[in-house]
Amino acid sequence: MDMAKQSTAQVTVVHLTSADRVLSGLKILGICWLAATFAVLIPIAHFILVPAGLLAGIFLFYRNYKFSVKAIEGSIPCPKCEKSLPTSAQPFEWPKHETCPACGIDILLKKS
């Protein structure tokens, strides 16, 4: 069995402050709870949609709060085909999983 290939790349990451994280969490919480509020108006389905919306809001709040890194600036070369991976602006946590769009291998990004 082949050992996983490793390569290093120099990238800059943008860190979120805890205030940013609370704010982004609250934004998604607001959207879910607003949707749940409107779901009250839907007969019968509101028995499911309202609690589901409220729970989803809380869940997404925690998920957003957990992520401390916002974006990567710089290019990450694929260890197999050497094409550079698109950098994402989505919040994430280390280690980050990526799939190479060119050759389809899984890439695990780790902090060094």
Would you tell me which residues interact with Zn ion (CB under 5 A)?
78, 80-81, 100, 102-103
Rounded least distance, CB 99 to Zn ion, Å = 9
Rounded least distance, CB 85 to Zn ion, Å = 8
Rounded least distance, CB 78 to Zn ion, Å = 3
Q: What distance in Å separates the CA atoms of residue 84 and residue 76, rounded to the nearest whole number? A: 5
Query: Nearer to Zn ion by C-beta: 39 or 78?
Result: 78
Rounded least distance, CB 75 to Zn ion, Å = 13
Sign of the C-alpha dihedral computed for residues 15, 21, 25 and 26 taken in this order: negative
Query: Nearer to Zn ion by C-beta: 36 or 78?
Result: 78
Q: What distance in Å separates the CA atoms of residue 63 and residue 38, rounded to the nearest whole number? A: 23
> What length does the chain have?
112
Q: What are phi and psi of 91, to 5 degrees?
A: -65, 145
Query: Nearer to Zn ion by C-beta: 11 or 81?
Result: 81
Query: Nearer to Zn ion by C-beta: 51 or 86?
Result: 86
Q: What distance in Å separates the CA atoms of residue 58 and residue 78, rounded to the nearest whole number? A: 36
